[in-house]
Amino acid sequence: MTPTAIVTFDVTEPHLQYCLDSLARQSAAAGASGGSPRPGERTEVVLVPVRTDAEEDPGGGEDEHGDETTDTARENGLAAAEAWAGTPPPGVLAVLLADGPASDHAAARALGAAAAHGTHLLFLEGCDALTGYALSYLAGSAADTRSDLVVGNVHKFNELGAAPSKRHRRYYGRHRVAEDPRHVPGLAADRAVGNKLWRRDFWESLPDHGLAPEDADLALRRAAMAARSVDVLPGPVLLRRERQASGPRLEARALTRRLTAMTRLAATLPGADRELWDRTLLKGEIHHLLLRLGDADEEARAAAVVQVNAYLDHVPDSLLRGLGTLDRLLYHLVRRHRVDDLMEVATFARSVEITKATLARRGLSYYLRYPFFESRDPAKAVPREIYRVDEEIKVRQKTERIHWEEGRLHVSGRLGIRHLRAHRRWHQHVAAFAVGPGGRRLRLPVRVRRAAEYRLPDVADAARHDLGGFTVVLDPRRLRSSGRWAEGAWKIELVVRNRGLTRRRFVSNPVPGPPERPEALHVGDGVWIRPHWDRDHHLAVSVEHTRARVTAHRLDAASRTLEIEGDLLSPPAGEAVELRLVRRPGTAVLVRPLTVDGDRFTARVGADELFALGVSECGGVIRQEEWDVHLLTPARETVDLILAGDAGTASYTGVGSRQELAVLRTVTGRMKLRAGHARPVVDSAAWEGRALLLSGSFRADSGMEMVLRARGRDAEHPLTVERSGDRFTARFAPADVPTLSGVLSLPAGTYQLCARIGPPTGAADIDAGVDFTDTVISGMPLEMRTSERAYTLSYHGAGIPVLQVASDLRASERGTFAQRELRETFYPARRGEPIIEDVLFDSYTGRQYSDSPSSIHAELRKRERWAEYPMSWLVADGQVRPPADLRPVRHRGREYYEALARSRYLVTNSRQPAWFHRRPGQVVVQTWHGSMLKRIGFDVENIRGKSRDYFDKLAWETRQWDYLVSPSPWATPILRSAFRFEGEILETGYPRNDVFHSPERDAIAERTRRRLGLPQGKRVVLYAPTWRDDKYYTRGKHKLDLHLDLQHMYDKLGRDHVLLVRRHPRVVDSVPVVGRDFVRDVSLYPEVMELFLVTDVLVTDYSSMMFDFANTGRPMLFFTYDLESYRDNLRGFYFDFEETAPGPLLTESDDVVSALLDIDAVAERSRGAYRSFVERFCPLDDGGAATRVVERVFGG
């Protein structure tokens, strides 16, 4: 069989070359099974250009590249395709269809399929790419099973890097072959194109449903469901470039077309397929469309409700009843055309409110308190049954300890049914069963114990405890059948009964660390009881006979061959004839002959062959260098190879090599090989005072660095490494990390220990893992405590080293319950106590010592009356080092609530919590943190992710302010209106801008230069964009929406420029490092005004920094690539930015570079606009703003 790759690309596609390069890397053995090369075979690639008007978002946003689209008329894609097809890479047969561009991607796919010669077809969009093994991996499975469709996993990527697609990992996380497509529900929801290989005759048999090009993805999803059988491969095959948020445009015509297409396709499906299709769309795309209608106009909303009703006309009530509570409520309102109520529910669902909904019990049933539950308004009434919950109330369970005691396995953890805490012993009853092969069940003893609330650390001083702890005991002797050990895997099922509800769950969810690596027990005669976590992440207790074991291994240095010796102990091992190696997760197979001598065997594996077959793509994000090792019989039976304890593990490194071949033991005792970049091995770990000391070996002839890399955000911290021969010592003090904000603790979170290797001299450039020896792992976890928090060295999974940094909150302050008690009980009680003389300062909710509050603090300390007055500073997670005269107040700690309740003065530039209530005698000064280009407060029409009472809370909050600081006469009426503020507005200018007129300005600038290590004689450019409301990972974690081509900037500017990049505090992505000493991430520098003093040119977009930087008189450039969208759809502006901006508005990265190269002329052209801007927005910036605020508020 032979596959053909059909690439459809827009003629202006700027990223086609990346796609073509990925096809050039495909193995010439794309048609061979198991990745085995077939000499002389070439991969056929058909290139089909597309020219569209881009009126719609095809396939719900699938063919637009969002921030990566080009608006130029240059046919970059077509030129790249012509060059590539004209001189194709070796092993590629390239065909460019030259009859003229197709009108859309669907038409292009049809043209490409007609021109293809392969037996199987893969369609790839020109902005995406394939992993290097994708075609051989997909085609190998297709050859083995002859399925109509083979589908693989997906990684998403952008200019910042790659990551697994969580959605596709959920769809295709498990290897399945010849599967009924109805058992792969992800197929009906998967909009990706390039991760599927279609059998050609099946593809050609598919009907044309006559859909619009924008709905072609629906047709493809419908086609996948028509396959007779499907193979699902867990390895990533598609690198999918990040698109804009999916979904049709929120216009009546587009919504009508899209929903009509769904209805038409549904009508073509038979019973079971129709049910799957309906459930997928109602829980997926239609659900999300209804939640987005809050951003649509009335016409679009009405059209959507009409069309969704038309779809629901043919959906059985039984299916609707089987949906979740939120979906039932949405579709109930749709059926009754209650559009306004539907919008209220959509707002509720998109905010944090939905996570706080509580349960109501009525009789023996439970109901979620969603909007309109038991409404007393007849017009708002919804039947109670809509809110009824059953399977939605899940049982939660985690495993915290697994150990053997007197030959019995003890499994401990916590469990409970969500919303139903076990306050009393009668609330919750737990039973446990061992469930074995053939459904055999054994009742197990289980003990219920008192433990901390589920989400809290199980410590004595946790805020709340309940009876959610459990311990199950399994005596392995009970697993025997008729006195004999029968092989098989047993699971432990927990049955939980709580106030009328019964839930069942297999023991799963191990907490990181020792529970992930349970020990095995030898029960004699080569029989082992091995607890382990199976593919479903359930605890499996396997009874295993050792049938083959490795007793020795060595590397022949001359031939660079690994020799493996072992014993064949019991059938079918004695029949084995081959050694089979499978590259995880199954993307390649290598088979080598076995030499058998009686009950002994020997096998040889070439190290260089394994190295050559290793995979490292996307900067090492996709790395496949581990191999499972089995014996293979003529009947194709596989026999696991146990690595005997006396055989040991080892790493073999050749002279002058940066690679190693490691023989490893899995957590279940199997042999595993790793052939790839050398790794350091830590064989000793200990805390020495406040520092972590690691010692170990690294035998490669390479440079080596070690870093701690944060999980969930892009940040890393280097360790100090000293080497002597093959030995190394690494040291790190996590409580004392030098930063641009001073010496601080690492923020709370988990940090993975990683290595970076490179040439013996020069920069390390390859990321690699770090291994712990079994001895080190057995001593985990290792904890160090300071007065602020705990630091714990441990591991995740099979042994990934991690450092866990705890929150600075005390155990009694952590968790929802503890915070509610502090908020609703402790804070009101403290409000009843006398006010204390103190000024509580806050900048960005405790994230910085900066901005106007720090300027007011400094001004107060200059005055005799206030020189010794008690003052404090809010500090979030220990990430601020305020001056010594300020008492740190931990955000959300007990002293935080007391300070808000009793401090005489509160000076803040941030929002305050809705529960804060200014008491008589308190004075609250709101300095705010930005000037008014973007709309704020009540003027923002499209509030994303906020609760339904957002404006009510805002109105309450502004009533707590005594004073609101205004930066200018122009801003004062806007602040008054936007916040509906009735108190006193201090039209003083922003105190933070006093630094620009300070007599110490030059000294501060010089100090800042030294602190940043800026070279003399280079122009300093600061890029400081704002955040995008719609570009985020989760609430509060936004993406770095970077459009500057940093490499191009370095090429053009690197010689005489330095680029400082400052992320908005909401942005969690790291800044890419490009060039040597060119890009500097200054996001953690506390005071941006000090950065302005050393900045020669500011590049920004819609950030309020422009109003502050205007005080320098230096040039500004505005990189406004999304001006129309940002202005019209996200926040909106208070003035005509295009007419008023004190510098040019640029839409392309190249334009920014050109402007910087000619900055003097660019600045001269903007001189008049700049002068007008300063006169309008900065008339009060004279160095005296802090003085004016202090004299008015504090009385001098």
Give burial (CB, 10 Å; 0-12/13-18/19+) of 846.
buried
What is the band of 1116 on the pLDDT scale with cuts at 50, 70, 90? very high
pLDDT score of 771 more than 90: yes
Residue 1144: asked if its preceding bond is cis (omega within 30°), the reply is no
Domains within the chain, CATH numbers bracketed? 3-245 (3.90.550.10), 260-356 (no CATH), 395-543 (2.60.40), 546-677 (2.60.40), 681-805 (2.60.40), 811-991 (3.40.50.11820), 994-1177 (3.40.50.12580)
Amino acid at the residue 522: H
Q: Per residue, what are the HEC states of 523-562?
A: EECCEEEEEEECCCCEEEEEEEECCEEEEEEEEECCCCEE
| Residue 333, pLDDT score | 98
pLDDT score of 891 more than 70: yes
Give the CA count within 13 Å in the CB-facing half-sphere of 879.
20
What is the band of 762 on the pLDDT scale with cuts at 50, 70, 90? low
Amino acid at the residue 165: S
CA distance 1158 to 1163: 9
Contact criterion met (CB below 8 Å) for 492 and 432: yes
| Mean pLDDT of the 24-53 span | 69
Phi, psi at 850, each rounded to 5°: -165, 180
State both tokens at 737: 């990390």
What is the band of 501 on the pLDDT scale with cuts at 50, 70, 90? very high
SS3 614: coil
Residue 578 is given by DSSP the state E
pLDDT score of 1183 more than 90: yes
Written as one string, the DSSP assignment of 1101-1129 is: SS-THHHHHGGGT--EEEE-TTHHHIIII
For the chain, what percent of residues have pLDDT higher than 90? 80
CA distance 204 to 119: 11
Which of 102-111, 418-427, 599-608, 620-629 is the least confident region?
Answer: 418-427
pLDDT score of 627 more than 60: yes
pLDDT score of 1131 more than 90: no
| Residue 984, pLDDT score | 98
Which of 76-90, 630-644, 1034-1048, 1135-1149 is the least confident region?
Answer: 1034-1048
pLDDT score of 656 more than 90: no
Written as one string, the DSSP assignment of 926-952 is: E--S--SSB--GGG-S---S--TTHHH
Q: Which residues contact 577 (CB under 8 A, 6 or more apart)?
A: 593, 594, 596, 632, 633, 634
| Residue 801, pLDDT score | 97
pLDDT score of 27 more than 90: no
Amino acid at the residue 337: H
pLDDT score of 71 more than 50: no
For the chain, what percent of residues have pLDDT higher than 70? 94
CA angle 78–84–85, rounded 5-degree value: 90
Q: Tens digits of per-residue pLDDT, 974-1010? A: 999 999 999 999 999 999 999 999 999 999 999 999 9
Amino acid at the residue 730: A
Contact criterion met (CB below 8 Å) for 673 and 629: yes
| Residue 701, pLDDT score | 85
Give burial (CB, 10 Å; 0-12/13-18/19+) of 101.
buried
| Residue 409, pLDDT score | 98
Q: Positive or negative, the Cα torsion across 291, 292, 296, 301?
A: negative
Question: Looking at per-residue confidence, does 75 or 1006 come out higher?
Answer: 1006
- The per-type count for the chain, helices as H runs and strands as E runs, is 33, 66
Question: Looking at per-residue confidence, does 494 or 71 come out higher?
Answer: 494
State both tokens at 366: 């439970």
3-state helix, strand, coil in the chain (%, to 5): 30, 30, 40
CA distance 631 to 629: 7
CA distance 195 to 204: 19
Q: Tens digits of per-residue pLDDT, 705-739? A: 999 999 877 788 999 999 999 999 999 999 999 99
| Mean pLDDT of the 237-252 span | 84
What is the band of 159 on the pLDDT scale with cuts at 50, 70, 90? confident
Report the relative pairing of strands 561-568 and 548-556 from DSSP bridges: antiparallel
Give burial (CB, 10 Å; 0-12/13-18/19+) of 317.
exposed
pLDDT score of 36 more than 90: no
| Residue 1102, pLDDT score | 87
CA distance 771 to 789: 26
What is the band of 183 on the pLDDT scale with cuts at 50, 70, 90? very high
Q: Tens digits of per-residue pLDDT, 306-326? A: 999 999 999 999 999 999 999
CA distance 5 to 118: 9
Q: Tens digits of per-residue pLDDT, 893-930? A: 999 999 999 999 999 999 999 999 999 999 999 999 88
Contact criterion met (CB below 8 Å) for 72 and 121: no
| Residue 230, pLDDT score | 98
CA angle 24–29–34, rounded 5-degree value: 125
Q: Which residues pair with 720 in a beta bridge?
A: 731
| Mean pLDDT of the 843-862 span | 96
Residue in this structure with the two tokens 């690699």, named with its chain if needed: 768
